[in-house]
Amino acid sequence: MTRRTAASTIRIMTVVSFSIRPARPAYEEGLIFARLANAAAGNGFRYLFGPRLEEIIALTFVEPGNDFSHECTVFAEEDGRIVGMASGYTAKEHRCFTEDAIKRAVGRSALRVAAVEVLIFPMLRFLHTYNEGDFYLQFLAVEEPYRGKGVGSALIDAMKARARETDSTHYAVDVSARNGGAKTLYERQGFVVQARWPRSRLVRPTILRMVQGL
């Protein structure tokens, strides 16, 4: 009699111990923020700012009162190493932001940035349109080895806590329509698609505005 032994496959989950903390106004942290923000934007800031993108964003990061400020950002850390980042603000905060810091940081690259912004103005107008009561999750990025380990969800929750502290009524995020993984992550968190860009139903969307009630 031949005895057959069935092989069992055991899935081993790697446990990641991490913490979430507010960002500090340090240039070195700004460089990390810039790299992660560019990854979250699909390398779009490389197109906008050129080879100086990390320097420009890091210089802006250390200053208050702007989209890229450390004030808007939280980091996920494991053993003192930054492994993820989220950044966001309320619609009211965004109306109070100034472009002074980014203009100083852009400096000699101003003509390049202005030319690119003219080309992508319709998209920028969509991205920077918020409803009253919105808390906007601007960036979410996790280092590749830490994806699928709960870091992204923890960062989303951390920013949601900030949203509730500001008495926001909706939590909003823009997602690339081609990024199925990100869309699924937000759907699992309770987000639904509210708007799309381009708005024409005759054109396949490239950006989805997803929202969740608070």
Distances (CA, A) of 120 to 77, 94, 95, 124: 34, 20, 21, 6
pTM of the model: 0.90
pLDDT tens digits, one per residue of 39-52: 999 999 999 999 99
Report pLDDT for 2. 36
Assess contact for 193 and 210: CB atoms under 8 A: yes
DSSP classification of residue 5: -
pLDDT tens sequence across 96-109: 999 999 999 999 99
Superfamily of domain 19-213: Gcn5-related N-acetyltransferase (GNAT) (3.40.630.30)
At residue 12 the predicted structure's pLDDT band, cuts being 50, 70 and 90, is very low
Task: Render pLDDT for 56-101 as a digit per residue (tens, 0 to 9).
Answer: 999 999 999 999 999 999 999 999 999 999 999 999 999 999 999 9
pLDDT digits (tens, 9 = 90+) for 162-190: 999 999 999 999 999 999 999 999 999 99
Specify the residue for token string 């080879």.
51
For 155-197, what is the HEC assignment?
A: HHHHHHHHHHHCCCCEEEEEEECCCHHHHHHHHHCCCEEEEEE
Tokens 């923020």 correspond to 33
Beta-strand pair 170-176/134-142:
parallel
Tokens of 187: 């759907």
Going from N- to C-terminal start, the domains of the chain cover 19-213
Residue 75: Cβ within 10 Å count: 25
Dihedrals phi, psi of 164, to nearest 5 degrees? -70, -35
Query: ∠ at Cα 100 (95, 106), nearest 5°?
Result: 125
Radius of gyration of the chain (CA): 19
Angle at 56 between CA 53 and CA 33, to 5 degrees: 75
Distant-in-sequence contacts of 142-145, Cβ < 8 A, 24+ apart: 142/76, 142/83, 142/84, 143/36, 143/82, 143/83, 143/84, 145/83
